[in-house]
Amino acid sequence: MKIHADLNQRAVVHSEALPWVDSPMPGVQRRMLERDGEEVARATSLVRYAPDSYFSAHTHGGGEEFIVLDGVFSDEHGDFGPGTYVRNPVGSSHTPHSKEGATILVKLRQMDPNDQTQVTIDTHQADWAPGLVAGLTVLPLHAYGTEQVALVKWAPGTHFQTHRHWGGEEIFVLKGTFADDHGVYPQGSWLRNPHGSIHTPYSEAGCLIYVKTGHLSHLATVGGAA
């Protein structure tokens, strides 16, 4: 299966317009944003767990990164509420489940195997810092090599300068509406700007985005599941 699998191409998906697709496990459904592979795949997805659902135990051959959008997502390592950001490195294992139900944004098979840092951040309790322009505040989540991951808050009416993406950029709009000279992206939008692309981002209404940069020019396909 290939969905927006060419990393050299710009991609925009309004996730709330996508159907929920059943996974192999009852009560676990997906909205597939990008995918290269079948059940084991390099993938970016929204995954929804119904109450009292679970996914089979599995090992992350290529690592796993997720942020909890709503509900409480759990595994044998803990319970993760809304706004929790987690990175499980290459070779890690778990058995995920949700007692009350949860929705997560998850990325699979997209980590450097040398990046063995396990990360858990409650973004509601973390310290934010001023951004590069007035109206931006930033919460760094992880950095390794050229890859940078952060949450960014845009105050209403904030404009950023035109810039080029060395290594590409990936954005998921968590709240509000993000925009640039190519379009307008409401809550739930996912966009990928390839290596070397240029844009001029802004937000008239204000927004909160997950953003990853510097990772697309050398992204390797390594193992994963779910």
Q: Which pLDDT tens digits describe the chain residue by residue (226 residues)? A: 999 999 999 999 999 999 999 999 999 999 999 999 888 888 999 999 999 999 988 898 899 999 999 999 999 999 999 999 999 999 999 999 999 999 999 999 999 999 999 999 999 999 999 999 999 999 999 999 999 999 999 999 999 999 999 999 999 999 999 999 999 999 999 999 999 999 999 999 999 999 999 999 765 333 333 3
Residue 204 neighbours by CB under 8 Å, 6+ apart: 156, 157, 177, 179
Contact 106, 64 (CB under 8 A): yes
The CA distance from 123 to 130, in Å, is 15
Residue extents of the structural domains in the chain: 2-9+16-122, 129-213
* pTM of the model as a whole: 0.94
Contact criterion met (CB below 8 Å) for 215 and 147: yes
Domain with residues 129-213, CATH architecture = Sandwich (2.60)
Model pLDDT, residue 101 = 97
Domains 2-9+16-122 and 129-213 share a fold: yes
One CATH from 2.40.50.1070, 2.60.120.10, 2.60.40.10, 1.10.645.10 for 2-9+16-122? 2.60.120.10
* CB-CB contact of 47 with 80 (8 Å): no
Please give the Cα distance from 55 to 119 (Å, whole number): 21
Whether the Cβ atoms of residue 40 and residue 201 lie closer than 8 Å to each other: no
